[in-house]
């Protein structure tokens, strides 16, 4: 910004200010009405639903107070859902970032045909979660999958099923992580690496001392995106395992959205409040991490 102060607006008349305010409210109205109806109203409804228990056949609901909410959030089912969602993050976030960096660093050089490699590495952005899940049916389905006999990918084993499902997310996100990290690498001034080379920095040292700090905002952004995606994983679970074997791939969202009607509306609403709390924690961490620790250049 320049040192010259912005031109001060001429003092405006009251009527003008009112007109501007009315225009502002009119412009905001569509968004605010939609958000009130489909974000804030449902939040109040979730609280209300969690405080009521639906009678059999869903004809009536009775007030039960916070007991149902407390029971649900301290119960085994909720704990298991949170644990599976957390495991999903552990499986997808580090692996996704490492593979993304590997792809981007490999494809960030002048080489004949590099555009073709870049196109290939970007290609998975053309898949949705559901399409990626169908693709992984061809790979890991216990009956028809190409790798059906590979033990550590087995969907029949409660210990490996969630990992196997999570690989479909890792693969699906390769395109996104590649594109974002490559753009970030391309923004690094070449002089920086040249100067470091002249100063005798070895390639690994250049990578960890220059490249990694400079792409850290992109990595942070991707980490947040991948964490949120893990929290919201659903289609790949329904298509690959439908929560099984047993409940070994039921993440928190799967338990909430599960259409099989195992849990009552009150319990699902209580779990939704738990998911809301987790979303808020992730957002707070995102905010905290973004405001420090990450190199932003100048």
Partner 1 sequence: MATESSNPDQPVIKASQAGDGKTGAVGGVRRATAVDETTKRGDSRVLRGAKTAGWHLLLLALSLLVLFPIYMLLLKAISAPLAYLAAGQPLTPVNPEWDVFSRAWNGANLSSAMALSAIVTLLIVAAQLLTSVLGAYAFAFLEFPFKKVMFVIVVATLLLPIEVTLIANIRTIRDLGWLNSVPGLTLPFVATAFGIFLIRQGFLGIPKDLRDAATLDGYGHMRFLFRVAVPLSKPVIGSFLVISFLGAWNQYVWPRNATDSRSWQTAQIALRTLTTERIDELNLAYAGAVIVAIPLILLLIFFQRQMVRGLTAGAVKG
Site residues for partner 1, 62-121, by CB under 8 A, read: 102-103, 106-107, 109-111, 113-114, 117, 120-121
For partner 1, which residue of 70, 187, 203, 212 counts as binding (CB under 8 A)? Answer: 187
Stretch that binds partner 1, among 33-41, 63-71, 78-86, 199-207 (CB under 8 A): 33-41
Among residue numbers 125 through 164, which ones bind partner 1 (CB under 8 A)? 125-131, 134-139, 143-144, 146
Among 222, 226, 227, 230, binds partner 1 (CB under 8 A): 222
The neighbour count for residue 46, using CB atoms within 10 Å, is 19
Asked if 202 touches partner 1 (CB under 8 A), the answer is no
Judged by CB under 8 A, the number of residues near partner 1 is: 101
The one among 93, 153, 230, 256 contacting partner 1 by CB under 8 A? 256
Q: How far is the CB of 118 from partner 1 (least distance, A)?
A: 9
Q: Name the residue nearer to partner 1 (CB basis): 159 or 256.
A: 256
DSSP 8-27: PPPPPPHHHHHHHHHHHHHH
Find the binder of partner 1 among 71, 142, 158, 171 (CB under 8 A).
Answer: 171
Q: How far is the CB of 160 from partner 1 (least distance, A)?
A: 18
Residue window 37-66: x/- pattern of binding to partner 1, with contact defined by CB under 8 A:
xxxxxxx-xx--x-----------------
Nearer residue to partner 1 within complex by CB, 46 or 162: 46
Q: DSSP label at 150?
A: -
Q: Of 21-29, 60-68, 88-96, 203-211, which segment contacts partner 1 by CB under 8 A?
A: 21-29
- The C-alpha atoms of residue 68 and residue 48 are separated, in whole angstroms, by 11
Our finding on whether 216 is near partner 1 (CB under 8 A) is no
Work out which of 82, 93, 176, 214 binds partner 1, going by CB under 8 A.
176
What's the 3-state SS for 74-120? HCHHHHHHHHHHHHHHHHHHHHHHHHHHHHHHHHCCCCCCHHHHHHH
The residue among 29 and 159 lying less far from partner 1, judged by its C-beta, is 29
Our finding on whether 5 is near partner 1 (CB under 8 A) is no
Cβ-based nearer residue to partner 1, 152 or 276: 276
As a three-state string, the secondary structure of the chain is CCCCCCCCCCCCCHHHHHHHHHHHHHHHHHHHHHHHHHHHHHHHHHHHHHCEEECHHHCCEEECCCHHHHHHHHCHHHHHHHHHHHHHHHHHHHHHHHHHHHHHHHHCCCCCCHHHHHHHHHHHHHCCHHHHHHHHHHHHCCCCCCCCCCHHHCCCCCCCHHHHHHHHHHHHHHHHHHHHHHHHHHCCCHHHHHHHHHCCCCHHHHHHHHHHHHHHHHHHHHHHHHHHHHHCCCHHHHHHCCCCCCCCCCCHHHHHHCCCCCCCHHHHHHHHHHHHHHHHHHHHHHHHHHHCCCCCCC
Q: Which of 101, 161, 162, 239 binds partner 1 (CB under 8 A)?
A: 239
Instruction: Say whether residue 20 binds partner 1 (CB under 8 A).
Output: yes
Measured from the CB atom, is 56 or 109 closer to partner 1? Answer: 109
């Amino acid at each position: 910004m320049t040192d010259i102060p912005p031109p001060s607006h001429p003092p405006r008349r009251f009527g003008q200010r009112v007109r501007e305010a009315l225009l502002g409210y009119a412009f905001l109205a569509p968004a605010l009405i939609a958000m009130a109806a489909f974000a804030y109203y449902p939040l109040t409804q979730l609280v209300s639903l969690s405080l009521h228990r639906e009678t059999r056949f869903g004809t009536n609901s009775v007030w039960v107070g916070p007991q149902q909410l407390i029971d649900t959030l301290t119960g085994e089912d909720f704990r298991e859902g949170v644990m599976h969602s957390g495991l999903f993050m552990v499986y997808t976030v580090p692996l996704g970032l490492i593979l993304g960096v590997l792809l981007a660093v490999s494809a960030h050089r002048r080489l004949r045909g590099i555009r073709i490699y870049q196109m290939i590495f970007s290609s998975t952005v053309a898949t949705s979660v559901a399409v990626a899940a169908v693709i992984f049916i061809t790979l890991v389905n216990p009956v028809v999958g190409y790798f059906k006999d590979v033990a550590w990918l087995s969907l029949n084993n409660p210990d490996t099923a969630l990992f196997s499902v999570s690989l479909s997310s890792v693969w699906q996100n390769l395109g996104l992580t590649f594109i974002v990290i490559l753009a970030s690498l391309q923004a690094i001034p070449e002089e920086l690496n040249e100067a470091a080379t002249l100063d005798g920095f070895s390639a690994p040292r250049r990578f960890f001392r220059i490249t990694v700090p400079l792409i850290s905002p992109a990595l942070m952004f991707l980490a947040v995106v991948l964490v949120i995606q893990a929290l919201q994983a659903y289609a790949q679970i329904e298509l690959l395992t439908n929560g099984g074997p047993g409940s070994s791939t039921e993440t928190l969202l799967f338990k909430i959205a599960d259409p099989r009607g195992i849990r009552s509306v009150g319990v699902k609403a209580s779990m939704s409040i738990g998911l809301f709390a987790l979303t808020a924690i992730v957002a707070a961490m995102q905010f905290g991490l973004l405001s420090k620790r990450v190199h932003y250049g100048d």
